Structure 1
Amino acid sequence: MDFHTPFEAQLVDYFRHRLNHQAEKYPTHTQEETLWYLSGLLARYGHSHQLFDYEDQHLTLRPLALIYQDARHAATEWERCMLLRKLGDTALFIGALFPQSYRRRGLKQDYFSGMGRSAYSYLGEHDKANPGLFQRLADRFTELLSLVADACQKEQLFDMTDQLQAYIRWQATGDPALERQLAKEGWFDQRH
């Protein structure tokens, strides 16, 4: 590690490397600009104050529906775009990294995909600086959820206990990232 580089830049580089490595496994080419955006998003949300809001003297994760409501009632177009970017980024981050937590609450990937895709689609039409980037994020949202999940997974399951726990979680949630990880470990035969 280069200790002369700020930690955030090191984190962006780490995620950029992981995303680039995983993107090679997908049939659709992911543009460099998209990979850089995702790297920055992951590094930014590595700081809890970027993801969580402070309400009633404690940190809380604002529900996506309330962020959407705030965006609908925004006083200016700039404020609306900022809130929709937060909505899209949060839907992508939470949907990719914590799907099992939200499945237990009755929320499926479609919820995150719909919220994120809609937010980025609006930005694709209204953002003056990066309309193409946001439209690509909207168009490939579900695939990008999987890409981010894959890039943030452990490289391998370390022991049989980890593998068994992952298998039990996969059975309960159907998480495609866990399924891919288990397949790499040889849990499924050719017919699966």
Structure 2
Amino acid sequence: MNEFFEEVVQDAIRAQGVQASPAAKTYVIGLLADFAKPQTAAGQTLERPLTLLLDEALHTVDLAERFEKLRVLGDGVLYSAGFFADHYEARGVDPGYVHGIGQRAYESAGALIRRGSSTDVTAPQPTDVFGEMASSFHAFVRIIADVADRTVAHGVATSKGLLKLYERWLRTRSESLADALTTHGFVAPRGGRTLQ
């Protein structure tokens, strides 16, 4: 499964023009592979209010447990903001608010790692994946959304699937969805016009 996500994430990064470290790319690939499995803990992110989850995570006494809660929250927000942005939009939730929670979760997780790392200035410093995920959260949401579009486009096998593809394109105006519609014989216009 990682091979599929490796290719699609690399394509999405290229399409979105995002600069991501190899460690961040690997992290996103692993995140997507984990979410493809049933019973993913981060999949519970949509079940409870995000601010409560963040507050609980930030006030967890055990540092290892706090880190895990923050990481799971950041992962869940990143994944859901990319794959299910319409879920939040339908409920009137501002994307900036959602992204802010994901950023805060990742930044706090990264701070725990930085705080626990060696104070020896000659020791090699670990790559700050969580700091990168926090500082480029919006870009990583775009990457995940592009992966979602490519996944939807890849799965079109019926007229019902094609209709879902078209409906998603109407909402997002995604270039990858427009390309997928074109492969099915539709001309997806650029610049807000209707489909022909």
- TM over 0.5: same fold? yes
Gap regions ≥5 residues in structure 2? 118-125
The correspondence for 1:74, drawn from 55, 60, 68, is 60
**In structure 2, what residue type is equivalent to 1:84?**
L
Q: Residue 40 and residue 170 in structure 1: after superposition, are their counterparts in 2 closer, same or farther (change >3 A)? A: same
Change (3 A) 1:81 1:37: same
Residue from 22, 31, 44 that aligns with 2:21: 31
* Aligned residues of 1:123 and 1:131 also touching (Cα < 8 A): no
1:15 matched to 2:10: no
CA contact (8 A) 1:124 1:131 kept: no
SS, match of residue 86 in structure 2: helix
How far does residue 94 in structure 1 lie from its aligned partner after superposition?
A: 0.6
Q: Identity across aligned pairs (percent)?
A: 24
Deviation at 1:141, TM superposition (A): 0.7
CA–CA distance in 1 between the matches of 2:37 and 2:104? 25
Give the whole-Å Cα distance in 1 for the aligned partners of 2:87 and 2:29. 23
Cα offset, 1:29, TM superposition: 2.1
Q: Is the 8 A contact 1:44 1:50 kept in 2?
A: yes
1:30 partner SS? coil
CA RMSD, 1 decimal: 2.7
Task: Tell me the equivalent position of 1:141.
Answer: 137
Mark the runs of 5 or more structure 1 residues left unpaired by the alignment.
1-10, 54-59
* TM-score, length of structure 1 as denominator length: 0.74
What displacement does 1:35 show?
1.1
Structure (1/2) with the larger helix percentage: 2
Alpha-carbon offset, residue 182 of structure 1: 4.6
Inter-CA distance 179–163: structure 2 relative to 1 (3 Å threshold)? farther
Query: Which residue identity is paired with 2:26?
Result: W
SS in 1 for 2:188: coil
Q: Deviations over 1:94-114 (max 9, x none)?
A: 111111122111123212211
Aligned mates of 1:131, 1:70 — CA distance in 2: 27
The one-letter code matched in structure 1 to 2:128 is G
After TM superposition, list the pairs within 5 Å mapping 1:87-98 onto structure 2: 87-98=73-84
Q: Is the 8 A contact 1:121 1:134 kept in 2?
A: yes
Counterpart CA distance in 1 for 2:136 and 2:97 is 15
- 1:142 maps to amino acid: H
Task: Give per-residue Cα distances to partners, 1:4-30, cap 9 Å, x unaligned.
Answer: xxxxxxx12211111012212233322
What TM-score, normalized to structure 2? 0.73
Change in CA separation of 1:160 and 1:179 when aligned onto 2, cut-off 3 Å: farther
Structure scoring higher RCO (CA < 8 A, sep ≥ 6) equals 2
In the alignment, structure 1 residue 151 sits paired with structure 2 residue 137: no
**1:187 Cα deviation from its structure 2 partner:** 2.2
Alpha-carbon distance change, 44 to 73 in structure 1, aligned in 2, over 3 angstroms: same
Q: CA deviation at 1:170?
A: 5.3
Give the structure 2 partner of residue 56 of structure 1: none
